[in-house]
Amino acid sequence: MTMTKKLLTSAVASALMVSGAQAAISDNTVKIGYLADMSGTYRDLAGPNGLKALQMAIKDFGGTVNGAKIEVLSADDRNNPDASSSTVRRWVENDKVDMVAGLVASSVTIAVSKILEENDRLGIVSGSAASSITNEHCTPNHIHYVYDTYPLANGTASAVVKEGGKSWYLMTADYAFGHALEADVTRVVEANGGEIVGSVRHPFPTQDFSSFVLQAQASGADVVGLANAGSDTTNAITTASEFGVTQAGQTLAALLLFLTDVHALGVDTAQGIQLTTGWYWDMNDDTREWSDRFMKETGVRPTMVHAGIYSSTLHYLNAVAAAGSDDAQTVRKQMMDTPINDMFATNGRIREDGRMVHDMYLAEVKTPAESKNEWDLYKILRTIPADEAYRPLSESKCKLVTN
């Protein structure tokens, strides 16, 4: 049985469990709002193709929940917390949206989560990285699904230090995500006997990285760590290559690199870069099957965010069906009580702080000789078990956690 058929079987079983319970679904409609960067720095890693992944999940689920319609609204967040907050407030107050999906820029997510908590609606965060989203900024109304800065540091930074990269210079995107990643990387580097010898924070987004790369070169650090993402990362890597950073003996550590970034850079430029990822399209038969369908729809291979949007949407719809309700707290509890086993995660689970914990992977970009086609980009070096990857609850500052 394919993974898609398994998911459909699960959805049908859930619906049968609560046949006749559809009256508990408000307005006899489940409304989902998709909010993401549709045109800017983070367009490729989530963007319009994230909306396509969400629509694929709804179609695979069957298009209705216990007889209730499923409707989707979408908007460009413009990487602007104020504009995004206004959009989500309108969605929940006027359009009666039950769940907000996507959520990419961490500053947007932190702002939007406050609106969701005020109105008791649910958010599922698939694109944002800041680990603070389920730490000091946790709420009972959002779930952080795909990855965060804590395992990025535990994976990539730890591996680079252990390979001899003891002194680091950090180039950081100057907003919530970059700050969180910088803090997590600093913690891991110092815990492994390394040191941060300097750092610079650049505006988000940035086109010209020349001055920042020159400062990194002048630092003499073993490693130049890029605490940014999307086109900021690819621009920084391209500039570093033009300035001969690696040729001069410094190591370039991309702390958040997506499949679309590596594809844009090409293996000639990106070869040998180590990165941490929550998912890869070519890991097994289930990931390949779903990725083939996604590519037929979009023309590209999916990032871990696209896969996470699909998985989290199905998990949400199964929970609504099983609970017979679209009430945020009822659905959140059902999602927490149900393990996640699909093309994205094996034995994934949602903790009380809202963090979905699952295995992460340390990967390395293949050389041109190793790569068989334009999307054959990673080799998986090791699995980082879920309990090792994410911040332990014993260290949590989340108001939902009793230590």
Q: Where are the alpha helices (DSSP H) in 252-376?
A: 259-265, 267-270, 285-298, 304-323, 328-337
Reply yes or no on whether the pLDDT at 11 is more than 60. Answer: no
For the segment 161-213, what is each residue's pLDDT rounded down to a tens digit?
998 999 999 999 999 999 999 999 999 999 999 999 999 999 999 999 999 99
Q: Based on the number of CB atoms within 10 Å of its own CB, is 9 exposed (0-12), middle (13-18) or buried (19 or more)?
A: exposed
Reply yes or no on whether the pLDDT at 97 is more than 70. Answer: yes
For the segment 359-390, what is each residue's pLDDT rounded down to a tens digit?
999 999 999 999 999 999 999 999 999 999 99
Reply yes or no on whether the pLDDT at 14 is more than 90. Answer: no
Strand partners, 348: 340
Residue 311's pLDDT is what? 98
What is the percentage of the chain residues whose pLDDT exceeds 70? 94
Residue 24's pLDDT is what? 87
Q: Which residues contact 330 (CB under 8 A, 6 or more apart)?
A: 323
Let me know: does 312 contact 26? Beta carbons within 8 Å: no
Reply yes or no on whether the pLDDT at 397 is more than 80. Answer: yes
CA 287-299-364 angle, 5° bins = 50
Structure tokens at 138: 């946790």
- Rounded to an integer, what distance in angstroms lies between the CA atom of residue 221 and that of residue 24? 59
Residue 402's pLDDT is what? 79
Reply yes or no on whether the pLDDT at 403 is more than 90. Answer: no
Reply yes or no on whether the pLDDT at 96 is more than 50. Answer: yes
Structure tokens at 212: 């920042």
What average pLDDT does this structure show over 53-71?
A: 98
Structure tokens at 3: 């993974």
What average pLDDT does this structure show over 298-302?
A: 98
Q: What is the pTM of this model?
A: 0.92
What band does 55 get if pLDDT is binned at 50, 70 and 90? Answer: very high
Reply yes or no on whether the pLDDT at 8 is more than 60. Answer: no
Reply yes or no on whether the pLDDT at 313 is more than 70. Answer: yes
Which phi and psi angles does 205 have, rounded to 5°? Answer: -85, 170
Reply yes or no on whether the pLDDT at 13 is more than 50. Answer: no
For the segment 329-353, what is each residue's pLDDT rounded down to a tens digit?
999 999 999 999 999 999 999 999 9
Residue 2's pLDDT is what? 55
Reported as half-sphere exposure (CB side, CA atoms, 13 A), residue 372 has a value of: 3
Reply yes or no on whether the pLDDT at 15 is more than 60. Answer: no
User: What DSSP string describes 345-386?
Assistant: -SSBEE-TTSBEE--EEEEEEPPTTT--STT--EEEEEEE-H
For the segment 239-267, what is each residue's pLDDT rounded down to a tens digit?
999 999 988 899 999 999 999 999 999 99
- Please state, rounded to an integer, the average pLDDT across all residues of the chain: 93
User: What DSSP string describes 224-238?
Assistant: EEEE--THHHHHHHH
What band does 23 get if pLDDT is binned at 50, 70 and 90? Answer: very low
Residue 247's pLDDT is what? 87
Angle between helices 304-323 and 285-298 (to 10 degrees): 100
What is the percentage of the chain residues whose pLDDT exceeds 90? 91
Report all structural domains of the chain as residue ranges with CATH numbers, in order of start.
Answer: 3-147+282-354 (3.40.50.2300), 150-277+360-386 (3.40.50.2300)
